């Protein structure tokens, strides 16, 4: 492959994944998604990595899917299309925290990517949108589902049906974005947050993420039972004993993820 579609670097215990298709405004194509899937699969079992940050090269997060790929999709049979494990299912099942550092555009597939991450940090000039209806398509990577859960039915429907964009401040007020920072500072802020997360018990972080995400799939009663099971697993862990001992001894804990 002549083009390095994904740059992967480390900042301590934080893995930095940079989408690198700047000439295409970092739009998503199959080759890029395959590269991201392979990287996440490797990072899943890398115990030295405790958080992941996804960003885009050249000051753009991701302007959407590469619409030239629609021709390839049309060539596939409609029945059974879209089955099988994909980058999106790998990201959804990824046990470590994933933070999106969004600059300028998170549109279409880029907005869906941000929504699929656990936390979104946005530059003040960033724009979020799902404008697929403007080209005769609809979101196909979770946009109709995650957007409704993130912002509620009315705001989600307004975005989905008009294709209008949200500013970073609007997205923060609506619940898509956790924090708005100065343009050009999202990667630094997201990395710093990842490093703060990495100071906590890796087991507790994985268990709390698992419990929180279960709320999207279960009733309240089922979610509370799931949380209780994870709580007892956490309290019976070596990390919990170390955290308690360190707290009482007024020292920093040394977590092992066990």
Strands 127-129 and 165-167: antiparallel
Q: CA distances (Å), 116 to each of 42, 178, 231, in order? A: 19, 14, 25
DSSP type of residue 3: S
Task: Say whether 92 is catalytic.
Answer: no
**Nearest Cα to 65, choosing from 34, 30, 41?**
30
Distance CA 179, CA 175 (A): 10
Q: Quick one: tokens of 174? A: 């609506």
Given a contact cutoff of 8 angstroms between Cβ atoms, the answer to whether 241 and 249 are in contact is no
Q: CA distances (Å), 138 to each of 10, 31, 130, in order? A: 35, 21, 8
Q: Quick one: tokens of 12? A: 């301590």
Task: Say whether 109 is catalytic.
Answer: yes
Task: Say whether 112 is catalytic.
Answer: yes
Name residues whose C-beta falls within 8 Å of residue 4's C-beta, 6 or more positions apart in sequence. 20
Catalytic residue (one of 65, 101, 141, 206): 65
Catalytic residue (one of 132, 142, 206, 243): 132
3 state SS of 102:
strand
* Angle value at C-alpha 8, between 7 and 14, nearest 5 degrees: 140
Task: Say whether 136 is catalytic.
Answer: no
Catalytic residue (one of 15, 35, 112, 156): 112
Catalytic residues: 65, 109, 112, 132
């Amino acid at each position: 492959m002549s083009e390095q579609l994904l740059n992967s670097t480390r900042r301590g215990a934080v893995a930095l994944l940079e989408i690198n298709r700047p000439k295409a405004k970092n739009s998503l194509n199959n080759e890029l998604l395959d590269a991201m899937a392979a990287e996440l699969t490797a990072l899943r079992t890398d115990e030295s990595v405790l958080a992941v940050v996804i960003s885009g090269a050249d000051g753009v997060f991701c302007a959407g899917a590469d619409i030239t790929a629609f021709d390839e999709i049309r060539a596939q049979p409609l029945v059974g299309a879209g089955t099988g494990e994909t980058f999106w299912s790998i990201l959804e099942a990824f046990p470590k925290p994933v933070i999106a550092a969004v600059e300028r555009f998170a549109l279409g597939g880029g907005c869906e990517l941000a929504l699929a991450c656990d936390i979104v940090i946005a530059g003040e000039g960033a724009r979020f949108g799902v404008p697929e209806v403007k080209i005769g398509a609809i979101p196909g990577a979770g946009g109709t589902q995650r957007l409704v859960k993130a912002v509620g039915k009315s705001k989600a429907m307004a975005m989905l049906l008009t294709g209008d964009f949200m500013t970073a401040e609007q997205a923060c007020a609506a619940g898509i974005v956790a924090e708005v920072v100065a343009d050009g500072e999202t990667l630094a802020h997201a990395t710093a947050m990842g490093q703060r997360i990495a100071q906590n018990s890796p087991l507790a972080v994985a268990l709390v993420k698992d419990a929180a995400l279960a709320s999207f799939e279960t009733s309240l009663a089922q979610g509370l039972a799931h949380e209780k099971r994870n709580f007892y697993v956490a309290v019976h862990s070596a990390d919990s004993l170390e955290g308690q001992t360190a707290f009482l001894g007024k020292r920093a804990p040394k977590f092992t993820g066990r």
